[in-house]
Structure 1
Amino acid sequence: MDGKTIRMNRILESGRAVIVPMDHGVSEGPIEGLTDMGRMVSLVEKGGASAVLLHKGVIKSLRSPPKCGLIMHLSAGTKMGEDKNRKVLVSSVEQAIRLGADAISVHVNIGGCDTEPDMLSDLGEIADECDSLGMPLLAMTYARGKNAKGTPDEIAHVARVGGELGADIVKCPYTGDIKSMRLVTEACPAPVVIAGGPKCESDYEVLKMVEDAMTAGAIGVSLGRNIFQHARPDLMTAALRAVIIDGVSAKQASSILRGYVKNGHIERAAIGAH
């Protein structure tokens, strides 16, 4: 056992990830679902999230420590910036350790952004520092920019970049089908979690996407809007957990979203009962 392994086990459960990123306040402001951060953290904890992902200021503002794993985000950029794809480092691995984080995350956009080389350099240097200090690193890698179309081949490429530059977990979009997603997971040197992207039209659509991603070899998700903008973030987290960790089908997990709650606790035993 070493420090990185111990911390990885705090953000994963049985090697699977139900990560809820809530770093959107920097890029987009206080959007729906992310006004009362303490309440939202509490709700996704209740649903069984393996980790939450937050910026340093939110971590410092919490009234009590998260009961699940804690990932601190080091990258920032705003929608009002001249280059919306540019991400800069706004903290350090040492600060994450001081604040009690179990892991850190870095965002890299690849595909035509003029600052792509700077973001790649930051990722490589942070990966080395994480290895030195025993901190797990989640790399959020996206094909974004004037040369990027977001094709499955591009998604496989950017995931490979994250793995090759030293990330312990790589986050990337779902490619759209099991076959092409399997290329992403098999070719990436690090385990892969999928992003949620824009809020989906239906709960089943989200759960089916996750079920297919798991079939393709992903270890879980890092989903934001489809959880924190849901009418019941706790139940949506629980349904995703059922697919990812318990291995039930998307159809079976959908039963959770019909509201099986008893004494404030989600009844996972009710999955598939109706």
Structure 2
Amino acid sequence: MSGVSMRMGQLFDRESGRAFVVAFDHGQALPIPEGLGNPVDLLERIIAGGPEGILLTAGMLSQSQHLFSHRQAPAAIVRADWTTLDKRMQSELGEQYRSLITPGEALALGASALCTYIIGWPAEGRMFAENIENVARTVHQAHAVGLPVIVEATLWGSRMSDKKDHQLLRQMCRIAAELGADALKTEFVGDEEAERVMIEEAGNIPVLTLGGAAASPEEVAAAARGAIASGAKGLIFGRNAWQVPDMEGAMRELSRIVHG
């Protein structure tokens, strides 16, 4: 067993074999909602909800290392790259993608894993090619230092109107698997059988589904249940876990769905 497989295994609950991860990397690429206050204070409340992992940026991990420095702390998954998810910025600057941190730098910060995008169908083929090259390089460098890589396979490019097209999304997931991803973060496409096929075709790596845009508690719970029923090994939910009136209740419910 390698450091990669040990760290990847530590993310998942020993009994259920699944993981509930909270995404907290939004401030780097999306507009900041009013009234959130100090992000480290909010992160402390999120961690109190008991998720198996937190997806966050290098800067937030640097500011909040005291929250990850004890035996029951969640795994710190560092966002390794950036893209123009903010539509205001994208309309002025176009689609952009950059790698921000090396695996060695993330390991020095205390990361348990990295997360990096594959963005399907951007306007320019060059951006997609550079994105693929960067994912491949990140995987090789991360494995050399014992870090697992979660690849976020999406259809967020500007050529796409249907971000959950399962035929195209299964191709993105397969590309990520072929590049050596240790786990996938991707959409729940709304159809359990289509999702099951997509997960199966990724091979023997865990697939976790993302939460996406804000939705009602009923819609969020239904998507979470559908993902787990399809064979997903967990959830990586952000706004629908902590940007809600009853954060503690939402996290409790999502964790219950994941672990059954």
- Normalising by the smaller structure, the TM-score range is 0.7 to 0.9
Shift of 1:36: 2.2
Name the % identity.
Answer: 24
What TM-score do you get using the length of structure 2 for normalisation?
A: 0.88
Q: Tell me: CA distance 1:33–1:198, structure 2 relative to 1, closer, same or farther (3 Å).
A: farther
**Amino acid in structure 2 at the alignment position of 1:24:** H
Match of 1:120 in 2: 132
Unaligned runs of 5+ in 1: 248-274
Shift of 1:180: 0.9
**Amino acid in structure 2 at the alignment position of 1:90:** L
Two-structure CA RMSD over aligned residues (Å): 1.8
Unaligned runs of 5+ in 2: none
Equivalent in 133, 155, 158 of residue 169 of structure 2: 155
Equivalent in 68, 73, 76 of residue 79 of structure 2: 73
Counterpart CA distance in 2 for 1:112 and 1:28 is 18
Given that 1:45 and 1:234 are in contact with CA atoms closer than 8 Å, whether structure 2 keeps it comes out as: no
Given that 1:22 and 1:34 are in contact with CA atoms closer than 8 Å, whether structure 2 keeps it comes out as: no
Equivalent in 56, 59, 62 of residue 60 of structure 1: 62
Counterpart CA distance in 2 for 1:84 and 1:43 is 35
Equivalent in 149, 157, 160 of residue 145 of structure 1: 157
1:193 has 2:212 as partner: no
Q: Tell me: CA distance 1:164–1:240, structure 2 relative to 1, closer, same or farther (3 Å).
A: same
Shift of 1:33: 7.1
Counterpart CA distance in 2 for 1:101 and 1:112 is 29
CA deviations 1:134-179 (Å, max 9, x no partner) are: 1010111111224433311112111111111111111111111111
**Amino acid in structure 2 at the alignment position of 1:75:** D
What TM-score do you get using the length of structure 1 for normalisation?
A: 0.83
Counterpart CA distance in 2 for 1:204 and 1:25 is 26
Shift of 1:77: 2.8
Match of 1:27 in 2: 29
Q: Tell me: CA distance 1:10–1:38, structure 2 relative to 1, closer, same or farther (3 Å).
A: farther
Superposed, 1:80-91 pairs within 5 Å as 80-81=89-90, 82=92, 85-91=95-101
Counterpart CA distance in 1 for 2:183 and 2:94 is 24
Counterpart CA distance in 1 for 2:95 and 2:175 is 17
Q: Tell me: CA distance 1:120–1:34, structure 2 relative to 1, closer, same or farther (3 Å).
A: farther
Shift of 1:130: 1.7
Shift of 1:84: 5.4
Aligned pair count?
A: 245
CA deviations 1:44-68 (Å, max 9, x no partner) are: 2222211001111111111613221
Q: Could you say what secondary structure the match of 1:217 adopts? A: coil
1:99 has 2:109 as partner: yes
Q: Could you say what secondary structure the match of 2:77 adopts? A: strand
Q: Tell me: CA distance 1:191–1:147, structure 2 relative to 1, closer, same or farther (3 Å).
A: same
Q: Could you say what secondary structure the match of 1:76 adopts? A: strand
Shift of 1:204: 2.3
Q: Tell me: CA distance 1:32–1:156, structure 2 relative to 1, closer, same or farther (3 Å).
A: farther
1:182 has 2:188 as partner: no
Given that 1:33 and 1:229 are in contact with CA atoms closer than 8 Å, whether structure 2 keeps it comes out as: no
Shift of 1:34: 5.1
